[in-house]
Amino acid sequence: MDINRLKKALWSDVEHVLLDMDGTLLDRYFDDYFWEHLVPEKYAEKHNITFGRAKEELLKKYKVHEGTLNWSDIDFWSRELDLDIPALKEQIRHLIEVHPHVEDFLRELKGADKKVILATNAHYKTLKIKLRKTLIGGYFDKVITSSEIGCPKEDIEFWRRTEKILRFDREKTVFIDDVMENLEAAREFGIRYIVLKTMASSRDKEAGDNGNFLAVGDFRELLP
């Protein structure tokens, strides 16, 4: 499928549009900076070690919990690292930004009477900070979080449980995300229209591998 066929389906046949948040609607630079710079800096200060050693230790800890509910659970990380993760996020909330043309896209979807769903692995405290800063929450008919569902989007069970809640038609549903593992699970489940959002961070220089998914770098490409 090419972008023109997707656009035609999106603005005619599609009923549900499921959207990831971090890296898809919002610039992932905030999250990258937070976990790769700010947290190691505070961890290094706390343990009186170098930034380099702190980053090395943290990367090992991160790796253990990748693809699990712990990965995005900031209460878990507060306990694990003995740092106030929500407070640290608030410190740099000015870095939270919406990707270009996201609000135009959301506005058009609402105007076309689509069901617009935020489907995110983000912890509810992170979600609250980001929706308060960006004000995009008003565009969503419902917000689905992995903690509410009981498993992350990488797990096909997430999609089984989400389908029961939303009662969407797989043939008339679009899912857009910047993480290939999430898209692969959704495709395996049977959602017809799967789209990779490239350029997840404003610091990305190029789109990179699309993993055989239809890819968009800017939501302007999907506007009617």
pLDDT digits (tens, 9 = 90+) for 170-216: 999 999 999 999 999 999 999 999 999 999 999 998 877 788 899 99
Q: Which CATH number fits domain 3-27+97-222: 1.10.10.10, 3.40.50.1000, 3.30.70.260, 3.30.56.10?
A: 3.40.50.1000
- CA triple 161-193-65, angle to 5 deg: 50
> 94-114 pLDDT, tens per residue?
999 999 999 999 999 999 999
Instruction: Please state whether beta strands 173-177 and 16-19 pair in parallel, antiparallel, or not at all (unpaired).
Output: parallel
Domain limits of the chain?
3-27+97-222, 30-94
Give the active site residues.
13
Amino acid symbol at 108:
E
**pLDDT at residue 165 greater than cutoff 90:** yes
Give this prediction's pTM. Answer: 0.96
Neighbours of 204 (CB within 10 A): 16
